[in-house]
Amino acid sequence: MNREIARIIDANFNRAREALRVMEDYARFILDDPAGCEVLKRYRHDFAHCMRGVSLDSLLLSRDILSDVGANISIPSEQQRSNPREVLVAAAKRLPEALRTIEEYTKTFDADLSSVIESLRYRAYELEQRLLVRGQKSARFAKVRLYVLITESLCRQDWWATAEEAIAGGAGCLQLREKSLDDDGLLKRARRLGGLCRDNGVLFIVNDRPDIALLSDADGVHLGRNDMSPADARRTMGPDRLIGISTHTSKQFRAAMNLAPDYISVGPMFDSETKPQSQVPGVELLRLAVNETEIPIVPIGGITTENVDILIKAGARRVCVCSAVIGADDVKAAAGAFVSRFEGE
């Protein structure tokens, strides 16, 4: 690597890092989106790691700001940003531009590094898309404290009235989970429940079915271990909808975390009559999850108002429940009892 190329690599390495920091601060302070922050932190780590193959001393010794003919060249539009979103857009465009320059010039001395930078450049396009298209929805999910599963057979009263009361009690997200309905019936119910959620400013998730989530204009889909892959779900639904993934072991959790979903459920926390399992990973899986990622973690399984405090002490910021709310005599009060546990969190 000669000095001229080292100067180019140095300038664009710094430009890319600066762009990433601007994007991360947008996710952190403007969106308040922990999942977005997590994705950006991982990206920064991967970028820094791949650049370790380039001599830092060579870059520093090549730097010559005083004689840089482009240092003082600017255009008026570069000095103007109307709002924070324009700041993000500018940084998101600057990142792949810098990476493309690094990619091209590293071909002159390290083809393998150039290939790695190329993959990071494609990931940069996904980062831009995620923050601009899904960032606000992801931030809304992070603020959810009560996530309620709606399954008609487990409702003590009419399923529609149950959903209304759950929302009135403070549920921030409802998931439609119906295994017995045919496709037409499931789509009709999803559209109806989705409309109720939109009217009340509540997120709406469809269990298992990305196609139904798309057709009902749901906010996202929740995927189990045997469902469509997150990548295929994303292709089906597009970039603007949330994807949650179920996990039951630390191995499953870490595999899910590497897929960068919008949230990860962990459980069951306790024995559950709704969805019994031979193994109950319990609170230890929750503790591991909240310590390893900023992606929103959703504990699920056997959660009641009697044991929810155990989860809160272990780091839970939200819970997903089914029978404890929809099977209650007073659904609104049951939902409110859970939400109140998170006051001040």
Q: Do 109 and 223 lie in a common domain?
A: no
Q: Which of 135, 160, 178 is the last residue of a domain?
A: 135
Distance (Å) of CA 25 to CA 18, 43, 72, 79:
11, 14, 26, 19
Q: Where a domain ends, among 135, 162, 196?
A: 135
pLDDT digits (tens, 9 = 90+) for 101-110: 999 999 999 9
The CATH number covering residue 204 comes to 3.20.20.70
The DSSP-derived string for 172-187 is: SEEEE--SSS-HHHHH
Q: Across the chain, what does the average pLDDT equal?
A: 94
Query: Closest Cα partner for 96 from 125, 67, 61?
Result: 125
The total number of structural domains that make up the chain: 2
Q: Which domain holds residue 90?
A: 3-135
* Residue 177 is among the residues annotated as catalytic for this protein: yes
Using CA atoms of 47, 285, 247, 230 in order, give the dihedral in degrees to the nearest 10.
Answer: -20
What CATH code is carried by the domain that includes residue 88? 1.20.1260
Quick one: 182 and 56 in the same domain? no
The answer to whether residue 275 is catalytic is yes
Evaluate whether 87 touches 29 at the Cβ level (below 8 Å).
no
Which residue type does 53 have?
G
List the catalytic residue out of 130, 145, 177, 317: 177
Q: Which is the catalytic residue, given 28, 100, 275, 287?
A: 275
Coil, strand or helix: which one is 50?
A: helix
How far apart are alpha carbons 322 and 156 in whole angstroms?
11
Q: What pLDDT, in 10s, does the model give residues 267-299?
A: 999 997 766 677 899 999 999 999 999 999 999
Q: What is the mean predicted confidence (pLDDT) over 258-268?
A: 96
- Is 39's pLDDT higher than 90? yes
Same-domain check for residues 117 and 241: no
Shared-domain flag, residues 22 and 154: no
Whether residue 243 contacts residue 268, with contact meaning beta carbons closer than 8 Å, is answered with no
- Co-location of 97 and 187 in the same domain: no
pTM for the whole structure: 0.93
User: 167 and 124 in one domain?
Assistant: no
State the catalytic residue, choosing from 62, 216, 246, 323: 246
Cβ proximity of 133 and 255 under 8 Å: no
Determine contact, residues 137/27, Cβ cutoff 8 Å: no
Q: What percent of the chain shows pLDDT beyond 70?
A: 95
Which has the higher per-residue pLDDT, 30 or 74?
30
Question: Does residue 195 share a domain with residue 99?
Answer: no
On the question of pLDDT at 63 being above 90, the answer is no
Q: Which of 253, 281, 245, 266 is nearest to 318 (CA)?
A: 266
Q: What is the DSSP secondary structure assignment for residue 125, as one 8-state letter?
A: H
Question: Is 93 in the active site?
Answer: no
Do 160 and 278 fall into the same domain? yes
Rounded Cα distance, 280 and 117, in Å: 42
Place 78 in a pLDDT band, splitting at 50, 70 and 90: low
